[in-house]
Amino acid sequence: MAEPLLRVESLRVELPTRRGVLTALDDVSFTIAAGEVLGIVGESGAGKSVTGAAIIGLLEPPLRIAGGRISLAGRRIDNLPYNAMRAIRGKKIGAIFQDPLTSLNPLYTIGQQLVETIRTHLNLSAAAARDRALALLSEVGIAGADERIDHYPHQFSGGMRQRIVISLAIAANPQLIIADEPTTALDVSIQAQILALLRRLCRDHGTAVMLITHDIGVIAETAHRVAVMYSGRIVEIGAVRDIVANPRHPYTCGLMSSIPRIGGSRDRLRQVEGAMPRLDEFPPGCAFNPRCPETVERCRLERPHLLPTGTSAVACWLYDEALMQAEAVVDG
Amino acid sequence: MLAFVLQRLYQAVLVMLAVGFIAFALFNFVGDPINGMVGVDTSLADRERLRQELGLNDSFVVQFARFIGHAIRGDFGLSYQEARPVSQIILEKLPATLELSSVAAGLALLLGVPMGIFTALYRRSWLSQLLLAVSLIGVSLPTFLIGILLILVFAVVLGWLPSFGRGSVVHFGWWSSGLVTLDGWRAIILPAVTLALFQTTLIMRLVRAEMIEVLRTDYIKFARARGLSSRAVNFGHALKNTLIPVITIAGLQLGSIIAFAIITETVFQWPGMGLMFIQAVGFVDIPVMAAYLVLVGFFFVVINFVVDLLYFVLDPRLSVGRERVGIG
Amino acid sequence: MAEAALRLRERSASPLRRIFDSDLWWSFKRSRVTVSATLVATAIIGGAVLAPWVAPHDPFDPGSLSLLDASNPPAWLDGGSWSYPLGTDNQGRDILSAILYGSRLSLMVGFSAVFLAMLLGVTLGLIAGWNGGLVEAIIMRVADVKLSFPAILIALLIDGLARGVLPRDAQSEIAPYVLIVAIALSFWVQYARTVRASTLVERDKEYILAARIIGVRPVKIVLGHLLPNVIGPVLVIATINLALAILTEATLSFLGVGLPPTQPSLGTLIRNGNDYLFSGDWWISIFPGMVLAALILSVNLLGDWLRDALNPKLR
């Protein structure tokens, strides 16, 4: 198997506070292949954004990487010095964030911001850079780019601004884009357009995407694979079709069944009772066990790690049990 | 744009009228103007005649209008203390204060802004901590105390710099400048530093606070995520976004230097308008007080106006058209 | 297991225990600077409050003054004596006692001015925010105009006005009150603005609407419900303002338009001593100056810490 574009192994991110050291990410491992869209889904505070920030090297202090490795195209990047990481940012790994309004500097025209980014990574003259900027704007669907390139961010609508943000992120043709809630701040109709744009760009340029969101619908529409995060850990990971149709982890099951479906029953939506534990209040064993409807004794004692089940993996003792039982049957 | 300018102008006029009103009220109702001008043994009949001559028996509105008319022409009558035209006194003292204030303002900007940027970018360095500690002292020490301490050290103990006066002064028409002589410069250093200290610390803290806020924004995060160099992020993006709100507040602060000059001029016996005002307050010399008030009010209004205009010009969100084109 | 026990203890502890366990106290204890600042401030305030009992001499009783003891240097220099630890001024008044009594006046004026400014500002802010309309417009316009003039100028003006209006012989008596009013009038705007902003936000919240529907009288709503919610930032402003008020009073007294020599505050003392600076009797103005600086600095530090500790964004 070819080396995946991005490999994250046992990533651990800690947050030192005056009450002690809290764990924001614990033993997070996954890979992203070139051109693949991996969705990262979970509640607020599950650690999705922290994962993205860690990969691109923009963790806000006092958050810090405390263990594990991150490798890009086989090269380790989590321990690089600032300047080496800076060369990667924008050029190999790009990022887009949630709020397009605050992502753009209000005092510069979008042309100025584009040209600056282009010339930082590519050795082009001002005129050539401007041409490339125009091409990028057309590619993301901004009509009348010749004129609009000299406008300021506040002169664009929300959806247009997000397109500009995307154009800035792909300006230097990175291999991987980390998209942190790219459509959350947009109207539903615009969401669809932006997602379609992302899909098209990835196909055309072969860019991989790490799509972070709390909205499973977005994942189902856009991603190839998905990782479900809970309390800083990945609890299930696999192909989107697989997970959506056949969720295994009790949390994932809860997530899926809380989505209203057209033609589904008219009863109340099932909710997952309780709330995600605070960083300083982790229960022993599996983080989900207080809310889980199907716990066994082991859940409260030992943290489950990712166990393979066919083409996906689940971090849940229920599936280990099943395997063991199956083996027991086979053996004896 | 025009609408904006007109609106600000209109507000400025209103404020000036309010200030003028207060000055006028001072003039007419605090004490008896006649008493300030004549001797004790002037007969009542003479006083009454004087009253009539000066138009003090006319209606309030008429008197106010007359006052405004005079004020616009710079005529505030005669000083009680010195019995000569107030306008003359002001013209004499104005250059001293303006020069002192300008030098102090320049110092405050030249020192305050870079220090603010430094302490924002290198928050944990020992130099930053030191500057912040010193700035706290700068904000806590009363200006007059700083002046006294400086005099003690540099004039009394070391004897390097003079402790009062402007030094040698050269006259250009009605303007008298101390900045063209070495002597004048030596004399202006201590008062200017005293006056500037408070403003410098304020500007430094302002720039620092604003820059720290800006460095936390999403667009800075995004700029970093795009791989822009630290220089581009800090000075190209962050600095520009920091300076614009800072300019407006700093402008207003510097305007208030004129008022703080009162203290500095008193400590250093600097022959400017501030010293004149204090002496007038002590003597209850109403015409001088009123004139000072109107002049300073005018000055503030002008500065406010210029600062507003500057903000409008510098922030594209205010000046460039607000049409939103496109539907997502 | 231990965490559960910890939580249980926190919840059932007495209010006093809760204060000591809280984040506020923790951040207070951790900052050595703040603790020292509080100690210094407490020492000065304590000395000032207890002045009549603690001061070695009464500097304002002409009978107890002796010109023979005039212009004594501090006790540790030649010519000084320990009965006048910090020296005496040109009239034989003990500097230490003068400082204690002077601090008393400085603090009294400072606290009263801040209190008055708070009262005025909060009231106007509540009225402006609650009523809106013309009333709000007028109040805010006045505030805007006033804001463009530095406090010192306003205070000077009011002081000068009072000086002209009041009879000359009553001036010494009334001086502290005039000063308090003058300083209060130059500081009320900050309170008014903050309170008005908070009022506007809270006014549309559901619990206020509910109270109005039930028919609770507006005054009761404002005082009982709105006020507790907007008081937080007001307290922070007040602490910072206290330092400024003390500074302003000292400045006005130094300029000669504040407290008179018969009831000197620290500023007046410095003014008096200024004349003797050149003749070498530096202690007459430097010691009061040091105490003044220490007082303002410590109050400023306390205000800074309070602001950081109560700022949710920095947590």
User: Chains with ≥3 Cβ pairs under 8 A against B?
Assistant: A, C
Rg (chain B; Cα; Å): 25
Buried-state track B16-54, b at ≥16 Cβ within 10 A, e below 16: beebbebbbebbbebbebeebbeeeeeeeeeeeeeeeee
Q: Closest approach of chain B CAs to the CA of A186, in angstroms? A: 9
Q: Report which of residues C188 and C69 the model is more confident about.
A: C188
Q: Give the pLDDT band of residue B326 (cuts 50, 70, 90).
A: very low
Amino acid code (one letter) for B101: S
Amino acid code (one letter) for A291: R
- Whether the per-residue pLDDT at A178 is higher than 90: the answer is yes
Q: Give the pLDDT band of residue A51 (cuts 50, 70, 90).
A: very high
Contact (Cβ atoms closer than 8 angstroms) between residue B31 and residue B287: no
In degrees, to the nearest 5, what angle opens at C-alpha B222 toward C-alphas B217 and B223? 100
- CB interface of C with B, residues 228-287, below 8 Å: 243, 247, 250-251, 254-257, 267, 270, 274, 277-278, 282, 285-286
pTM: 0.78
Q: Per-residue pLDDT averaged across A78-88, rounded?
A: 87
Q: Closest approach of chain A CAs to the CA of B220, in angstroms? A: 8
Q: Per-residue pLDDT averaged across C160-179, rounded?
A: 72
pLDDT, position A130: 92
Question: In angstroms, rounded to a whole number, what is the distance separating the alpha carbons of residues B279 and B292?
Answer: 12
* 3-class SS string, chain B: CHHHHHHHHHHHHHHHHHHHHHHHHHHHHCCCHHHHHCCCCCCHHHHHHHHHHCCCCCCHHHHHHHHHHHHHCCCCCECCCCCCEHHHHHHHHHHHHHHHHHHHHHHHHHHHHHHHHHHHHCCCCHHHHHHHHHHHHHHHCCHHHHHHHHHHHHHHHCCCCCCCCCCCCEEECCEEECCCCHHHHHHHHHHHHHHHHHHHHHHHHHHHHHHHHHHCCHHHHHHHHCCCCHHHHHHHHHHHHHHHHHHHHHHHHHHCHHHHHHHHHHHHCCCCHHHHHHHHHHHCCHHHHHHHHHHHHHHHHHHHHHHHHHHHHHCHHHHCCCCCECCC
Q: Give the pLDDT band of residue C1 (cuts 50, 70, 90).
A: very low
Identify the sign of the CA torsion C135, C238, C259, B156: negative
B325/A155 Cβ within 8 A: yes
B315/A89 Cβ within 8 A: no
- Whether the per-residue pLDDT at A223 is higher than 70: the answer is yes
Nearest chain B residue to A88, by CA:
B227
Question: In angstroms, rounded to a whole number, what is the distance separating the alpha carbons of residues B138 and B128?
Answer: 15
Contact (Cβ atoms closer than 8 angstroms) between residue A109 and residue A151: yes
- Whether the per-residue pLDDT at A93 is higher than 80: the answer is yes
Q: Give the pLDDT band of residue C50 (cuts 50, 70, 90).
A: confident
- The proportion of chain C whose per-residue pLDDT surpasses 90, expressed as a percent, equals 3
For testing contact with chain A, the best of B213, B219, B234, B317 (most A CBs within 10 A)? B219
- The proportion of chain A whose per-residue pLDDT surpasses 70, expressed as a percent, equals 91
User: Chains with ≥3 Cβ pairs under 8 A against A?
Assistant: B
Task: Specify the DSSP element, H or E, that contains A80.
Answer: none
pLDDT, position C112: 92
Q: How far is CA C146 from each of CA A29, A236, B15, C1, C286, rounded to the nearest angstrom? A: 61, 63, 10, 60, 34
Residue from the list A96, A103, A107 with its beta carbon closest to the beta carbon of B241: A107
Q: Closest approach of chain B CAs to the CA of C178, in angstroms? A: 15
Q: Give the pLDDT band of residue B57 (cuts 50, 70, 90).
A: low
What's the length of chain B?
A: 328
Task: Specify the DSSP element, H or E, that contains B8.
Answer: helix B2-29
Amino acid code (one letter) for B53: E
What ipTM was predicted for this assembly? 0.84
Question: What digits encode the pLDDT tens for the residues B203-219?
Answer: 898 899 889 889 989 89
- Whether the per-residue pLDDT at C12 is higher than 50: the answer is no
Residues contacting residue C84 through CB under 8 Å, at least 6 positions apart: C56, C57, C69, C72, C75, C94, C95, C96
pLDDT, position A328: 58
Identify which of A150-164, C146-160, C162-176, C185-199 has the greatest average pLDDT.
A150-164
The DSSP code sequence of B227-254 is: T--HHIIIIIIIHHHHHHHHHHHHHHHH
- Whether the per-residue pLDDT at C20 is higher than 60: the answer is no
pLDDT, position A266: 60
In the three-class reduction of DSSP (H, G, I as helix; E, B as strand; rest coil), residue C139 is classed as: helix
Question: What digits encode the pLDDT tens for the residues C202-257?
Answer: 777 787 778 778 877 777 777 777 777 777 778 878 887 888 899 888 988 888 87
Q: Per-residue pLDDT averaged across B247-266, rounded?
A: 83
- The proportion of chain B whose per-residue pLDDT surpasses 70, expressed as a percent, equals 89
Task: Flag whether residue A186 sits within 8 Å of chain B, measured between CB atoms.
Answer: yes
pLDDT, position B81: 75
Question: What digits encode the pLDDT tens for the residues A15-26?
Answer: 888 778 888 898
Identify which of A320-324, B13-17, C278-282 has the greatest average pLDDT.
B13-17
Which chain A positions have a beta carbon within 8 Å of B217's beta carbon?
102
Q: Per-residue pLDDT averaged across B53-58, rounded?
A: 66
Q: Per-residue pLDDT averaged across A168-176, rounded?
A: 90
Q: Per-residue pLDDT averaged across A107-134, rounded?
A: 91
- CB interface of A with B, residues 88-147, below 8 Å: 88-91, 94-97, 99, 102-108, 116-117, 120-121, 142-144
Question: What digits encode the pLDDT tens for the residues B94-148?
Answer: 888 888 998 998 899 899 999 999 999 888 888 888 888 888 888 888 888 888 8
Q: Per-residue pLDDT averaged across C297-313, rounded?
A: 74
- Whether the per-residue pLDDT at A216 is higher than 70: the answer is yes
Average pLDDT, chain C: 76
Q: Per-residue pLDDT averaged across B187-191, rounded?
A: 87
pLDDT, position A177: 92
Residue from the list B230, B241, B326 with its beta carbon closest to the beta carbon of A160: B326
Average pLDDT, chain A: 85
pLDDT, position B325: 44
B228/A116 Cβ within 8 A: yes
Q: Per-residue pLDDT averaged across B5-23, rounded?
A: 79
Question: In angstroms, rounded to a whole number, what is the distance separating the alpha carbons of residues C154 and C146?
Answer: 8
- Whether the per-residue pLDDT at A141 is higher than 50: the answer is yes
Amino acid code (one letter) for B135: S
**How many Cβ atoms sit within 10 Å of the Cβ of residue A116?**
21
Which chain A positions have a beta carbon within 8 Å of B233's beta carbon?
none
pLDDT, position B323: 45
Question: What digits encode the pLDDT tens for the residues C74-98?
Answer: 777 776 777 777 777 777 778 888 8
Q: Give the pLDDT band of residue B328 (cuts 50, 70, 90).
A: very low
- The proportion of chain B whose per-residue pLDDT surpasses 90, expressed as a percent, equals 5
